[in-house]
Amino acid sequence: MLEIIDHDAVRELRLARAPVNALNTELIVALDAAIVAAEQEAAASGVLRALVISGGAKLFSAGLDVREVAGPQQTAEALVLAFSTLQQRLARSSLPLIAAITGHSPAGGAVIATLCDHRIMARGSFRIGLNEVQVGLYPGETIFRCYERIIGTARAASLLSRGVMLSADEALAVGLVDELVEPEQVVARAVALGAEIAALPPETYRRTRRMLRADLVQLFEQPRESLASLMQSGWITAETRERMAALLR
């Protein structure tokens, strides 16, 4: 479900839940725990210096598990809570995060990538974007603000409101991803970038990174919408369940 691969000072956390890396509660919790463990190891030894989050061939992640969102309310609530916790963990991570976007990355997969420091995507016919509106999910203001800080207010508002998925070339053009490489080179390039970061003067890098991500951290420390309100009126609604159930038919 989650593979952990060390590349010297860089650790790769590879999503490996067949067939499409759908983010169910178990996978989300496993990824969250792996980030915590990496941070603790880095603090203790100083050897581990960067994290790469990767996916499978042609697909980074299909987003949140539709079956859990459309399932019993308790199951759906557990999923939303786990994903909210993971988002906060990513935003506050003490280790630099590099998304190795190995293929398509809709919705929850795009959220994970958006919260990373750097995004390397596979060149080709792959698409990425926050398409929650298309499936009856309210993305919430915090996610909008995360999107906005990368691609700008007007563009984020236009894309998010319509649930637009961007091609790899479009994502590069608007700044949603930093680089495009051949699909088989995505992970290697992300690891190389992690090694480049690991070679920088550590305290200077950490201080610079804290400055650059301070606005992102603040979004999660002072959210304008509560998790309870998102559950009640944005995620676990009749409209959401109807749309999700239709996807399963």
Q: Quick one: 134 exposed, middle or buried, by C-beta within 10 A (0-12, 13-18, 19+)?
A: middle
Per-residue pLDDT at 248 exceeds 60 = no
Rounded CA separation 102/123 (Å)? 9
Which residue(s) pair with 51 in the sheet?
A: 11, 97
Per-residue pLDDT at 234 exceeds 80 = no
Mapping DSSP to helix (H, G, I), strand (E, B) and coil, where does residue 88 land? helix
Residue pair 189/178 in contact (Cβ under 8 Å)? The answer is: no
Rounded CA separation 147/130 (Å)? 9
**pLDDT tens for each residue of 194-225:** 999 999 999 999 999 999 999 999 999 988 87
pLDDT over 90 percentage in the chain: 80
Cβ neighbors of 18 (< 8 A, separation 6 or more) are none
Average pLDDT in the 142-157 region? 97
**pLDDT tens for each residue of 43-81:** 999 999 999 999 999 999 999 998 888 888 888 889 989
Average pLDDT in the 225-230 region? 75
At 2, the pLDDT band (50, 70, 90 cuts) reads very high
**pLDDT tens for each residue of 160-200:** 999 999 999 999 999 999 999 999 999 999 999 999 999 99
Mapping DSSP to helix (H, G, I), strand (E, B) and coil, where does residue 61 land? coil
Per-residue pLDDT at 144 exceeds 70 = yes
Domain boundaries, the chain: 2-185
Q: What DSSP element (H or E) covers 97? A: strand 97-101
Which range, of 22-31, 109-118, 227-236, averages the lowest pLDDT? 227-236
pLDDT for the residue numbered 249: 56
CATH number of 2-185: 3.90.226.10
Q: Measured between alpha carbons, how far is residue 130 from residues 94, 110, 166, 191 in Å?
A: 25, 6, 9, 25
Q: Which residue has the tokens 């203790």?
A: 44
Per-residue pLDDT at 1 exceeds 90 = yes
Per-residue pLDDT at 244 exceeds 70 = no
* Amino acid identity for residue 93 in this structure: S
Residue 36, token pair as written in the block? 């915590």
pLDDT for the residue numbered 135: 84
Rounded CA separation 62/146 (Å)? 19
**Residue with more model confidence, 90 or 134:** 90
pTM: 0.94
Which residue(s) pair with 241 in the sheet?
A: none
